[in-house]
Amino acid sequence: MRNPAARYGLLALFLAISLGGGMLVGISNPPGDWYAGLLKPFFNPPAWLFAPAWTVLYILIAVAGWRVFLAKERLSFGIWVLQLCINFTWSPTFFGQHLIGAALVILIAMLASILAFIAVTWRRDRVAALCFVPYALWVAFAGLLNASIWWLN
């Protein structure tokens, strides 16, 4: 795609899907009193940290998806779609349905898909792969946090 306006219009679409979708899922599934009443590990981050962290991550996710889409990397793009679908199921499972163990399984699947994206994309688009490194680290940490909350409750 050579037209810059079309390229950046497509980036806006990826941002709307990733960032907008993530925000919609988050707003629709707030932590609420249930989460406030759970026992949490000592390393639980302050509540204010989650929104800015996920905002940055969803922007990086959008950029990575946009890049592999433009490059017509079908396998990478398929994994990108898969990880985003998995990502969007975690909050409804954890916060909405209060299924801490099922949410942990979702996080494990999410981390596996993120690592698969990095592995498949690394040689063809290093920038897209690197966009997923902070995401992988955050989801690994979230998995540890989710597992700790499951264990404590």
Count of structural domains, the chain: 1
> Inter-axis angle of helices 21-28 and 50-70, to 10 degrees?
150
pLDDT digits (tens, 9 = 90+) for 44-64: 999 999 999 999 999 999 999
The answer to whether 110 and 140 are in contact (CB under 8 A) is no
pLDDT digits (tens, 9 = 90+) for 77-136: 999 999 999 999 999 999 999 999 999 999 999 999 999 999 999 999 999 999 999 999
Instruction: Name the residue range of residue 113's domain.
Output: 4-152
Q: How far apart are CA 86 and CA 72, in angstroms?
A: 22
**Residue 147's CATH number:** 1.20.1260.100
Instruction: Determine the average pLDDT of the residues in 63-69.
Output: 98
The pLDDT of residue 3 is: 85
Does pLDDT of 1 surpass 80? no
Residue 40 DSSP code = -
pLDDT digits (tens, 9 = 90+) for 32-45: 999 999 999 999 99
Q: pTM of whole model > 0.85?
A: yes
